[in-house]
Structure 1
Amino acid sequence: MNDNDFHQISYKSIDDRSFKKAKRQTILFDHKNNIVVGDSKGNSWQKSLQANKYDPLSVFEILRLNLSSENLDTS
């Protein structure tokens, strides 16, 4: 797998615990325009999208994909 094979598209999270106001976050990755657009607690923001920068969950997915594509000989 090449680094170019993995592209983040979006990220959504909801923290809806009892007796607390639900926290929602949305992040959209616009690879065409090289920007990241997000909304957290009603506040919108925008940042430039940097190549080969990944969030923690994506790093685990990239590792999983890399390991599953390797021919691992455990003998």
Structure 2
Amino acid sequence: MAEKAKKENGFVRFTKKAGKFFRDCKGEIKKIVWPTPKNVFKNVGVVLATIILLGLFIFLLDTVFMNLLGLVMQVAK
């Protein structure tokens, strides 16, 4: 009769899988290409400009709708 292979216990399997996970993570982190400070500041400028423009657009829409609502409320009296 063929001998059955001894099955590893749960703790041993867990430590092997955890070790492989952290080795894979280390390998992936080495592949990261970090942006230069110049690129970071450029991107921050683009984000800030976009936020300001969207804020102004929403402010203008809010103002227009509030004025329209005021006109509708005056007509309803």
- TM-score category of the 2 structures, normalised to the smaller one: under 0.3
TM-score, normalization by structure 1: 0.26
Q: Comparing both structures, which one devotes a greater share of its residues to strand?
A: 1
Q: Comparing both structures, which one devotes a greater share of its residues to helix?
A: 2
TM-score, normalization by structure 2: 0.25
Larger RCO, structure (CA 8 Å, separation 6 or more): 1
